[in-house]
Structures are given as structure tokens and as C-alpha cells.
């Protein structure tokens, strides 16, 4: 009973987070057109990336609903994994949006470019590390229970 409540709560969080990020990604399309038409200054490539990060990121978050039933963790660990994916996808969208405004690449540390370096560090801390951690949890969480020392491979 408690597991169903936790699972239901996780599902609500996933659906809401995915919906909000999808909306933000779509609204970012307005920002893209403003840059493309010269109404504001910014990187067209990074603005398009932010637009797609919002839309695709929402689908990644939503896809968690498909895999959670196969994850062998309890509710707390599932929630941590879900939050890692939500955090990384939201930050991927917003940092890429800021990157567009600042017109920096942010893919490496560059001497004498504070804004580029801040973007780079933010991407590593808020996108790369949570994404890799969440993906690792996903892979480890789907291992057979035989590998983990439990011979019951059908347990949830």
C-alpha cells in the first residue's frame, strides 16, 4: 500500500515536471524567432538547442514512467533517480538559454572568459554529473536480482 502511494507520488512529479519543461521548451521557440529576426541579440544555435533541450528533455523525464517498474530500488532511491533526471534536464534547458544570451560556448574553460567558464562549470555540476549519476542508477537498478545476490528475479 505504501509503495503504491510512493509510486503514485513519483508519477505525479514526473508528469508535472515533464509538462512544465515541455511548455518551457515550446515557449523558448518564441525566443528563437526573436533572435532569428534580429529583435534581440543572442546565439541562434544555442537558442535552438535550448528550445530542443526543453522539448526532448521533457520526453526523457516522461520516459521514466516506462522504466520505473523495472527498477529494483525502493521508493526513496527511485525518487532520487527521478530528481536527478529532472534537475539535469531543467538545468540543461536554462543554462543553454543563458549560454545563448551570453553568446558563449561553455564547452571548455577559456582564459579570460568568466561568463564562458561559469557556464562550463554550471553545465558540469548541474547537467553532466546528475545525468551520469541518474543513468548509472538506472543501469544498476535494472540488474537482475541474481547478480545482486537475490535469486528472486521477479520481485519488484
The answer as to whether 26 is a domain residue is: yes
The answer as to whether 156 is a domain residue is: no
The answer as to whether 76 is a domain residue is: yes
The answer as to whether 28 is a domain residue is: yes
The answer as to whether 149 is a domain residue is: no
Domain with 94 in it: 2-141
| Residues 131/88, Cβ–Cβ less than 8 Å | yes
Write out the chain in H/E/C secondary structure: CHHHHHHHHHHHHHHHHHHHHHHHHHHHHHHHHHHHCCCCCCCHHHHHHHHHHHHHHHHHHHHHHHHHHHCCCCHHHHHHHHHHHHHHHHHHHHHHHHHHHHCCCCCCCCCCCHHHHHHHHHHHHHHHHHHHHHHHHHHHHCCCCCCCCCCCCCCC
The answer as to whether 152 is a domain residue is: no
> What does the pLDDT look like over 51-71, one tens digit per residue?
999 999 999 999 999 999 999
CA 65 to CA 8: how far, in whole Å?
10
Band of the pLDDT at 144, cuts 50, 70, 90?
low
Q: Supply the mean pLDDT for the chain.
A: 91
User: How many domains does the chain contain in total?
Assistant: 1
**Residue where the block lists cell 560556448:** 105
Considering only the C-alpha atoms of the chain, give the largest distance between any 2 of them, rounded to a whole number of Å: 63
User: So what's the pLDDT on residue 147?
Assistant: 47
> What does the pLDDT look like over 95-139, one tens digit per residue?
999 999 999 999 999 999 999 999 999 999 999 999 999 999 999
The answer as to whether 35 is a domain residue is: yes
CA 38 to CA 47: how far, in whole Å?
13
**pTM of structure:** 0.88
Band of the pLDDT at 5, cuts 50, 70, 90?
confident
The answer as to whether 8 is a domain residue is: yes
Amino acid at each position: 500500500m505504501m509503495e503504491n502511494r510512493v509510486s503514485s507520488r513519483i508519477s505525479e512529479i514526473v508528469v508535472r515536471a515533464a509538462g512544465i519543461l515541455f511548455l518551457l521548451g515550446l515557449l523558448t521557440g518564441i525566443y528563437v524567432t526573436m533572435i532569428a529576426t534580429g529583435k534581440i541579440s543572442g546565439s541562434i544555435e544555442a537558442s535552438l538547442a535550448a528550445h530542443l533541450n526543453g522539448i526532448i528533455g521533457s520526453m526523457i523525464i516522461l520516459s521514466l514512467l516506462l522504466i520505473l517498474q523495472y527498477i529494483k530500488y525502493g521508493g526513496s532511491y527511485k525518487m532520487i533517480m527521478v530528481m536527478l533526471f529532472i534537475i539535469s534536464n531543467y538545468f540543461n534547458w536554462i543554462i543553454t538559454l543563458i549560454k545563448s544570451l551570453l553568446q558563449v560556448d561553455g564547452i571548455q574553460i577559456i582564459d579570460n572568459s568568466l561568463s564562458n567558464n561559469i557556464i562550463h562549470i554550471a553545465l558540469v555540476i548541474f547537467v553532466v554529473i546528475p545525468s551520469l549519476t541518474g543513468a548509472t542508477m538506472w543501469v544498476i537498478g535494472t540488474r537482475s536480482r541474481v547478480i545482486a545476490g537475490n535469486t528472486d528475479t521477479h520481485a519488484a
